[in-house]
Amino acid sequence: MLIEGLEKKPYVVALYGAAGIGKSTLANGSNRAVFLDVEDALHRIGCKRSPVLKTSSELKAFINKLSTEYGSEFDTLVLDTIDALEDILIKEICLEHGKPSIASFGFGQGYDLLSKKWVELLSGFQAMSRQFKKNVILVGHDQIKFYADPNSDGYDRITLKMDKKSSLALVSKVDAVFYMCLDKQIRTTESGARKAVGTGRRVIYTEDSASCVAKNRYGLPAKLDATPDFFKDLEKLTEVVS
């Protein structure tokens, strides 16, 4: 059977940026949000949330409980945060295999196991979107990593704070990756020096560039203001995305 035309599809996106920039607050502005708290840092945000989830089993059990018992009470599932969950997964992998660290596996095998764990979890989040018609926001922190560009000498850029293989898996699975930061403008001083000056605005980058990892499947402008209704506006776009 062939499928033709446009259809409504809830979004599955990642939102990352520096600590304290307002990522969780922005995600809480989405329609009827419920947070999966794995970092224990949501007590200053007036949001509906889980107890602090300390293992991947607790996370999966709570997601199942939400979908089967509380499905009518929320529209958006928010994971807070990606990097806190990755720390949990690493500890579980090391404990399971009797290793002191993820790097001690050798030949990158530990990171391969970590990537597989992420693929499994991401499949679960995609099921929340497809089967239960829920939006999903994965909130994370940023880091600066060297990018070995085959077409240049390579350079530093901003990316998600997680292992490279896991990051590639996440970026490929979600509908969008949004980088949130304070806006800056380059100005020339009286001495002729160029200086970055903050504008006071919070912005979101939606397209991949030499400065940061980002993407979107919605045809969004490359840079948007991080308005309180950002995710409510994004949900409107899902009504015309195939």
pLDDT of residue 191: 64
pLDDT beyond 90 at 46: no
Alpha helices in the chain (DSSP H): 23-28, 56-69, 82-97, 109-130, 164-173, 230-237
Distance (Å, whole) CA 63 – CA 77? 9
Q: What is the pTM of this model?
A: 0.91
Average pLDDT over residues 142-147: 93
Residue (of 81, 177, 161, 79) closest to 128 by Cα position: 79
Tell me the domain boundaries of the chain. Answer: 12-237
Among 46-55, 130-139, 197-206, 217-226, the range scoring the smallest mean pLDDT is: 197-206
Q: What angle do CA 88, 203, 14 make, to 5 degrees?
A: 30
The architecture in CATH of the region 12-237 reads 3-Layer(aba) Sandwich (3.40)
| Mean residue pLDDT across the chain | 90
pLDDT beyond 60 at 241: no
pLDDT beyond 70 at 18: yes
Q: Residue 159: beta bridge partners?
A: 143
pLDDT of residue 153: 82
pLDDT of residue 149: 81
Q: For the segment 178-214, what is each residue's pLDDT rounded down to a tens digit?
A: 999 998 766 666 666 655 555 679 999 999 999 999 9
pLDDT of residue 71: 84
